[in-house]
Every structure is written in C-alpha cells, then in structure tokens.
Amino acid sequence: MDVILKKRMKEHVVEFWEKTQDEEIQKLFPFSIESLEESIKLYKESLKDEALSYGKVIYYGNKYIGDIWCYGIDEINEKMAMLSIVIFEKELWGKGIATQATKDFIKEVFSKYKIDKIGAFTYAFNYRSIGLLEKIG
C-alpha cells in the first residue's frame, strides 16, 4: 500500500482546515479548534523543541489525504500520549489506509518519545474509528 507519512508544513494546515469543514467530517471527529488562525498558531507551537504534540501528514498515491498526530505527550508522569487521525478524503475511508498510517506513526512515536502507551477516543457511532483502534490495539 502506497501510504507515506511526511513532515507537516503550513500549507498542509491550511488545506486540512478547509477540508475538515465538511459537515460529515465535523460530526465524526471531536475538533476543538475554532479557526484557521488558531490552527496555524498550534502548528507553529508544535515545531518547538518543548512541544507536547507531534504530527505527520498522510499521503496516498502522491496525494495529501489527512493528518495523524499525538498530543498531550507526557514523558515524565504518565509516560503516554493521545492519538488522533483524520482522513479527509472520504472516498478513501474503509480501505485500510488509516490502519497502515497509524501502525507506521505509532512505531515512530514510540522511538521518538519515552512513552509506554498511546491512548485514543472516538464517538460511539464512529464505527470505522472504533475498528481502527481495535485493529491497532
């Protein structure tokens, strides 16, 4: 499968914001960011050495299709982080792309940070997300 994780750039933040304003996507994912400006600010903060978040963009077939990131990274007390993934190209849902991206990303996160576990949550009606979380353990 042609899934590649790449470094997140400002242009990705802008495209992600635009694509995730879709009503169906908004219902499935618990977004807390309320503006593009806030998204860009958080992106800039994630670039700092002391950042508590880390993310990548997901490419499939040379096309940017979503983001995956960890937030609330705690290497001292809980030794854990929380995971989020959004594939905004809906025609690619259910094809195993998120599973492959998540497996690759989790390997990278565990090698980059001194954590023992990764947590995640989703809505009870987001069956694809539940399935993904079950597959990756």
Residues β-bridged to residue 87? 66
Count the helices and strands in the chain (H runs, E runs).
5, 5
CATH code of the domain in which 109 resides: 3.40.630.30
pTM of the entire structure? 0.93
Cα distance between residue 5 and residue 28, in whole Å: 22
Considering only CA atoms, which of 51, 84, 72, 86 is closest in space to residue 115?
Answer: 72
Q: Please give the residue range of the domain that contains residue 63.
A: 3-136
Written as tens digits, the pLDDT of the chain (137 aa) is 799 999 999 999 999 999 999 999 999 988 888 999 999 999 999 999 999 999 999 999 999 999 999 999 999 999 999 999 999 999 999 999 999 999 999 999 999 999 999 999 899 999 999 999 999 88
Supply 137's token pair. 């353990």
Number of independent structural domains in the chain: 1
The 3-state DSSP composition of the chain as helix, strand, coil percent (nearest 5) reads: 40, 25, 35
Asked if residues 73 and 22 have their Cβ atoms less than 8 Å apart, the reply is: no
